[in-house]
Amino acid sequence: MTSVEVEPSVRVPVIADAERPAVESAVTTEAPWLEPPPLPKGAGRAQRMASSLFWGALGFVALGAIWQFASLRATTLPGPFATLSTTRELLANAFAKDGPAGQGIGLQLLESLGRVFKGFAMAAVVGIPFGFLIGTMPRFWKMCNPVIQLLRPVSPLAWFPIWLTILVKADPAAVWVIFITALWPTVINTAAGAASVPEQEHDVARVFRFSRWAEMRHIVVPHALPSVITGLRLSMGVAWMVIVAAEMLSAASGIGFFVWQSYNGPGLSYVLSAILLIGVIGVALDLAFLAVQRKLIPEVRS
């Protein structure tokens, strides 16, 4: 270890002000270079990433072990290795027009994603303005809230027969099921965000006589934006879960249909592969939303 000598400051500047003694101490021009001790282990970004990767991988190994054990006991359940090889096979023929469970899994996933995005977009177009309305108008909120609370806990699939009766075709019915699914989290989070603008922000609008429109645009919307995006993110998450069930009910395509066809045809290794891919896409959707959130709300970064 090298020791560093700190030289005491030699000169104290004379300050012309005779009334008061100088309080500032002199700044020495040549400060000694101090060598900081090395950073503790694991403090670097790379190390933290490596640590996350390692433990994350270990989690998957643990899952695989349990799965393998289970498949040895219950022989009807395909093990992880069989499933992975099926997955590889499915991905190789992802965009095939025909296969053991209908068209290729890539096409099925695209169909499902298309339905989810349609229903989700409809829910956003309806839900965000509606959320802002009830969030900023207390009486309207009091009027709508009981209705929302009544409908919210109902599984969106319960609506399926209604949509099917109205629309006759299964495809648009699934889209409307997603609409209902995505509607509630969007409305509720938007309303909560719009309603939680601090009183002081509204006071600013009152003091400076902002118009209702200006108050909405400059105060309520920016304030509610994080909740709106959170609502959309939740909606997307649930929508992706519900589409599988909706398509299992009666669709002629999509990942839900694929899962059901696999059960009836090629078997559980197809189902398990589908589960893996559904999970991967779910994670990707969520990460995409996080990216949007970071981009739109710079304050979140700090």
Partner 1 sequence: MSFEISHVWKSFLHKREAQAVLRDVTMTVDPGEFVSLIGHSGCGKSTLLNALGGLTAPDAGAITLDGEAVTGPSPDRAMVFQSYSLLPMLSLVRNVEAAVKSARRDWSRERVTAGTEKYLRAVGLWEAKDKKPHQVSGGMQQRCAVARAFAVEPRALLLDEPFGALDALTRSRLQGHLVDLWTNDSETELVVMVTHGIDEAILLSDRIVVMSNPPGPSVCEVIPVDISRPRDRVSIVDHPEFRAVQERLLALLRRDDQRQEAA
Residue numbers at the binding site for partner 1 (CB under 8 A): 19-20, 198, 200-201, 203-204, 206-211, 214, 218-219, 222-223, 298-299, 302
CB of 135 to partner 1, least distance (A): 17
Cβ distance to partner 1 smaller for residue 165 or 211: 211
Cβ distance to partner 1 smaller for residue 55 or 213: 213
d(CA 174, CA 267): 25
Cβ distance to partner 1 smaller for residue 45 or 301: 301
Do residues 239 and 119 lie in contact, with contact meaning Cβ atoms separated by under 8 Å? yes
CA angle centred on 10, ends 7 and 12, rounded to 5°: 135
H or E stretch at 300? helix 298-301
Do residues 282 and 243 lie in contact, with contact meaning Cβ atoms separated by under 8 Å? no
Cβ distance to partner 1 smaller for residue 165 or 200: 200
Tokens 């005491």, residue? 8
Cβ distance to partner 1 smaller for residue 55 or 208: 208
d(CA 273, CA 271): 5
CB of 214 to partner 1, least distance (A): 6
Do residues 258 and 105 lie in contact, with contact meaning Cβ atoms separated by under 8 Å? yes
Do residues 61 and 253 lie in contact, with contact meaning Cβ atoms separated by under 8 Å? no
Cβ distance to partner 1 smaller for residue 219 or 249: 219
Tokens 């994603």, residue? 113
Do residues 197 and 220 lie in contact, with contact meaning Cβ atoms separated by under 8 Å? yes
> What is the three-state SS of 157-208?
HHHHHHHHHHHCCHHHHHHHHHHHHHHHHHHHHHHHHHHCCCHHHHHHHHHC
In angstroms, the Cα distances linking 149 to 46, 146, 160, 163, 187 are 46, 5, 20, 21, 11
CB of 11 to partner 1, least distance (A): 24
Cβ distance to partner 1 smaller for residue 118 or 202: 202
CB of 23 to partner 1, least distance (A): 9
CB of 217 to partner 1, least distance (A): 8
CB of 41 to partner 1, least distance (A): 34
CB of 199 to partner 1, least distance (A): 9
CB of 190 to partner 1, least distance (A): 17
Cβ distance to partner 1 smaller for residue 118 or 223: 223
